[in-house]
Structure 1
Amino acid sequence: MSSIGWSVHGDGRRVAPGAVVAPDERLSWPRTVGIGMQHVVAMFGATFLVPLITGLPPATTLFFSAVGTVLFLLITGNRLPSYLGSSFAFLAPIAAANASGGMAVALGGVMVTGLLLAVVGVVVHLAGSRWIDVVMPPVVTGTIVALIGLNLAPVAWTNFQVSPVTALVTLLSIILITVLFRGILGRLAILLGVLTGYLVAVLRGEIDFATVGAAAWVGLPTFTAPSFDLAVLGLFVPVVFVLIAENVGHVKSVAAMTGKDLDPVIGRALFADGIATTLAGAGGGSGTTTYAENIGVMAATRVYSTAAYWVAAATALVLSLSPKFGALVATIPGGVLGGATTVLYGMIGILGARIWVQNKVDFSDPVNLTTAAVALVVGIADYTWVAGDVTFAGIALGTAAAIGIYHLMRSISRWRGTHDEALTPASVPGGTELER
């Protein structure tokens, strides 16, 4: 065991067939540094798209993602490899809150979301995670994730119209790169597509580099203090459910790939992401979540060492301390964002459907069918309800509908015996398919 907590895997140079580098192991430091930087590349595109779309400073978001990753590793006892990047679940509530009360109010919403998630983490750590499956069975979780992505579709179209040619090139590049390349290049299709669209935008004269030239090479990011407005806080509550699903899914995925029982750290993972999101909201960054992009890197390399994530966090921190780098990222034009978000928002919607498929949600059951049907229309059509000074928009109402309708219908059907309950992680003894 090394002095900083990792044993060297094998000879430190290669991973044997069928073997994996466990979280408490590492390869040689040069190889670990290389893999850590690869994690930075993997998270880069998605992490920066959130601040670009919402108007938050990219360098500030990167700074808090680095700090959040360090906190996550510390709080989980260095047992759970993860990078905390920007969560797309915050896009709609930040945009709505910013439009009605300004960015400081939106940051207040991010901060409150983090605090709520941290509280959930404490409860899960003390009481176990079983109750999450009961409150949020797969039909509910999948519906919430899907309606968040599909609710954002008009935003993608608005950006697309800024420069249809650049947007179309960006979109087609992402599509083609996804199927033309294997391995890490294929998984970086969105980042590479954005770079291709950016080049087209440069050639078309759509980018002004004046701010890049004026920015300093080294300096602290721009920090913004939050403010709180009860009228918009309701927009952010649904995000908590999404972050719970993402974090639990991340823990389950890493456990399945490493063969380790990581259920005992689920509460710590939720608490850590909650603290990271709270700090981001307190200083001007986007809320965070565990990143599926980095799971792809681990699956490809079979290296699950947390040492690589310490390297990734350090690399991100260094980049965030260059205002010139942040200014360069901020020049990405609306047309490029339009092409990229057409794919990204759709992917978020389909990820909800993926949750249904993976958990074999039975839509011949009217309870499941009605839950998803009503909540999706409410979320996609952006239904709005004003109660005094508080406004509940599509995502908040859709989330409430998903949870409320499911439990109301399920309770009545059990009482009346009208419909058999589907086999879900909440109803199957022994847990989920992965757990069994």
Structure 2
Amino acid sequence: MSETKTSNFKWKLHGDGKRISTGEVVQPNERLTWPRTIGIGAQHIVAMFGATFLVPLLTGFSPATTLFFTGLGTILFILITSGRLPSYLGSSFALIAPIGAVTGYVSGGGAPIDSDKMALAQGGVISAGALLLLVGVLVHFAGAAWIDRIMPPIVTGAIVSLIGFNLAPSAWNNVKQAPVTATVTILSVLLITVLFKGIIGRLSILIGVLIGYATAVIRHEVNFEAISKADWVGFPSFHAPTFSPALLGLFLPVVLVLIAENVGHVKSVSAMTGQNLDDLTGRALIADGLSTMIAGSGGGSGTTTYAENIGLWQRLGSIPPWHISLPLSGLWLCRCCPSLVKLSPPFRQGFWVEPPRFCTA
């Protein structure tokens, strides 16, 4: 593998900006034409949105606040890694269990989350982020070889896969709420991928979701009344944390999962780009740890690198940070325009189950 240590905050056009030849990869310092870049960025929104939005629904945290902090965390990640390691930092599923153990919140139970218990859970999230940051500092100065020995690819891959399989029941429950819409969405993605080449085939997930949404509208599954009543402009609702040493035993073990996810992310991007990015492992851990601490301090769930977007990059053959900047814009637009968030329920049954599994196949 080649090794490139310069920052990637300047992007050049890849070839003619329109085609990606077989075997080629759009490197982190390259981009396609702007219309194609915008389309691919929109598809990244689809890939990450379902999972990012699901975590706060399961934990009782504010979805809008969570979106805000994932956007902020992603910016920090790209800056700290000098644009050489594109990533989207979404809500961490590894923290769902300890948060639930502290708050006792039951999704769909009707009762809101207890604010005092939520504050304690936030303190646990911050503690996990702080430990991850310290591990990142150690890796940055001492090297990542010891992590590779403790967590070889077969271990990191298994951990990430198990998290996905553990969430399969949630995806299936969403499918059962609107099985026709979910089926149309998934079949649309599969058929577009198989039947079309070029940019149309590469945007199969985005197009499939649009078809799924149209199906939901036709079947009267879209609640336009909820959309009309939602605020068009809004701001995050922040919530202060509190700390209890007794809860550290619940949250600190989660750091092992976060390390595995970040190390796996570095290895995946390295494999796709043909560059040796091991020197960025420490920075990645530092960035995710800092992002998790910031999220926990304001009422957001912890963050982690997302396999959904990695899988999408693999399919597209294109991984510039530009494609992450578009999801950031979409996230903060959803945060500032709550009406847009109301658009998701009708077709989330389809793309919550589809992107993580189809993209990484």
Q: Give yes or no for TM over 0.5.
A: yes
Tell me the distance in 2 between the aligned counterparts of 1:118 and 1:156.
30
Taking a change above 3 Å as real, the CA distance of residues 260 and 235 of structure 1, as seen in their structure-2 partners, is same
Question: For the residues of structure 1 that align with 2:231 and 2:38, how far apart are their CA atoms?
Answer: 27
Partner of 2:85: 80
Return the alpha-carbon distance in structure 1 between the equivalents of residues 31 and 164 of structure 2.
Answer: 37
Task: State whether residues 170 and 196 of structure 1, in contact with CA within 8 Å, keep that contact through their aligned partners in structure 2.
Answer: no
Among 237, 240, 261, the alignment partner of 1:246 is 261
Match of 1:268 among 258, 283, 287: 283
Range with greater deviation from structure 2 (7-16 or 192-201): 192-201
Match of 1:218 among 218, 221, 233: 233
Query: 1:312 matched to which residue of 2?
Result: 327
1:259-297 CA-partner distances (Å, limit 9, x unpaired): 111011011011111111111111111211111111222
Q: Which piece of structure 1 moves more, 190-199 or 243-252?
A: 190-199
Residue equivalent to 2:148 = 133
Contact 2:175–2:182 (CA<8 Å) still a contact in 1? no
User: Which position in structure 1 is the counterpart of 2:112?
Assistant: none
Larger radius of gyration: 1
Give the counterpart letter for 1:26 in structure 2: R
How far the C-alpha of 1:308 sits from its partner, in A, is 2.0
Q: Quick check: 1:166–1:201 contact (8 Å CA) kept in 2?
A: no
Q: Secondary structure at the match of 1:289?
A: strand
1:189-211 CA distance string (max 9 Å, x none): 997899699779965x9x7955x
**Counterpart in the other structure of 2:47:** 42
| TM-score, structure 2 normalization | 0.76
RMSD: 3.8
Q: What does residue 296 of structure 1 align with?
A: 311
1:89 matched to which residue of 2?
A: 94
Q: 2:33 aligns with which of 19, 28, 31?
A: 28
Q: Separation in 2 of the partners of 1:107 and 1:90?
A: 10
Partner of 2:298: 283
The separation in 1 between residues aligned to 2:208 and 2:38, in whole angstroms, is 24
Matched, 1:64 2:69: yes
Q: 1:26 to 1:140 in 2, by over 3 A?
A: closer
**Higher-RCO chain (CA-CA 8 Å, sequence separation at least 6):** 2
The residue identity in structure 2 corresponding to 1:14 is R
Distance 2:238 2:70 in 1: 14
Do the aligned residues in 2 keep the contact of 1:7 with 1:25 (CA within 8 Å)? yes
| Structure 1 CA distance for aligned equivalents of residues 317 and 45 of structure 2 | 17
- Number of paired residues? 334
Question: Contact 1:175–1:189 at 8 Å: present in 2 too?
Answer: no
- On the 8 A contact 2:124/2:243 being kept in 1, the answer is yes
Which shows bigger deviation, 132-141 or 184-193? 184-193
- The amino acid of 2:267's aligned partner reads K
Deviation at 1:243, TM superposition (A): 1.0
2:21 corresponds to 1:13: no
Q: Deviations over 1:2-42 (max 9, x none)?
A: x9512222233332343221111222333322222221121
- Return the letter of the residue paired with 1:40: I
For 2:66 and 2:123, the matched residues in 1 are separated by 15
The residue aligned with 1:105 is 120
Q: CA deviation at 1:325?
A: 2.8
What secondary structure is seen at the aligned counterpart in 1 of 2:304? strand
| 1:327-406 → structure 2 map (5 Å cutoff) | 329=344, 332=345
Pick aligned residue for 2:177 from 158, 166, 172:
166
CA distance in 2 between partners of 1:327 and 1:248 (Å): 35
Give the 3-state SS of the residue equivalent to 1:72 in structure 2: helix
SS at match of 1:222: coil
Distance 1:148 1:298, change over 3 A: closer
Alignment partners' CA distance in 1, 2:262 and 2:299: 22
Q: Judge conservation of contact 1:36–1:312 (CA < 8 Å) in 2.
A: yes
Indicate if the aligned counterparts of 1:57 and 1:285 stay in contact, CA closer than 8 A: yes
Aligned to 2:236, the other structure's residue is in SS state coil
User: CA separation in 2, counterparts of 1:194 and 1:225?
Assistant: 39
2:339 aligned to which of 308, 324, 349:
324
Unmatched segments (≥5 aa) in structure 2 = 1-5, 106-115, 194-200
Distance in structure 2 (CA, Å) of the matches to 1:280 and 1:318: 18
Greater displacement, 21-30 / 273-282:
21-30
2:109 is aligned to none
Q: 1:325-360: CA deviations, max 9, x gaps?
A: 34555xx49xx88x998x69x97xxx9xx9xxxxxx
| Residues in 2 aligned to 1:105 and 1:191: alpha-carbon distance in whole angstroms | 38
Deviation at 1:80, TM superposition (A): 0.8
What runs of 5+ residues in structure 1 fail to find an aligned partner?
A: 355-436
Partners of 2:71 and 2:89 within 8 A in 1: yes
Q: Which of residues 123, 138, 147 in structure 2 aligns to 1:123?
A: 138
User: Which stretch shifts more, 308-317 or 188-197?
Assistant: 188-197
